[in-house]
Amino acid sequence: MSKADIRPPVNLKIATMTDLARMLVSWSQRDRPASMLYFEYKGKHVYGTLISNHGYYEMYGLPLWIYTEREVEPEGNFLAYSARPKESVSFVDSIESEPMTVHLPIIRLSEKLEILDLE
């Protein structure tokens, strides 16, 4: 298989970082721990992950690029998501043992993934 044979995943742009965190946390409880990819592209700071939606009709799965854009780069190495007492997200440098908080590692890429179609 060559690079030309690889089709891009379906883009699913999420409205906010909180929405993205909520989706990643819910997916990670079913399949595997989620991480967040980060890169700069055309002046935007892009945060997202690749997920395969298994059992999509007769296909083996539908590849999704789930992402959001912000005006700033991450202010830490992890995104801390808490649903209680009030839903919140924040960037932190390390994982602390906070009850009811999920930490999503941020993986910084040197450039946009080649297979993504963000035009």
Prediction pTM value? 0.85
CA distances from 41 to 44, 69, 109 (A): 5, 10, 11
**What is the token pair recorded at 26?**
């819910």
- H/E element, 21: helix 17-28
- Here the contacts of 47-51 (C-beta below 8 Å, separation 24 or greater) are 47/17, 47/20, 47/74, 47/106, 48/20, 49/24, 50/9, 50/113, 51/27
pLDDT at 55: 67
Say whether 63 sits in a helix, a strand or coil: strand
The rounded distance, in Å, linking the Cα atoms of 68 and 38 is 10
Write out pLDDT tens, residues 40-87: 999 999 999 988 777 666 667 788 899 999 999 999 999 999 988 899
* pLDDT at residue 79, rounded to an integer: 93
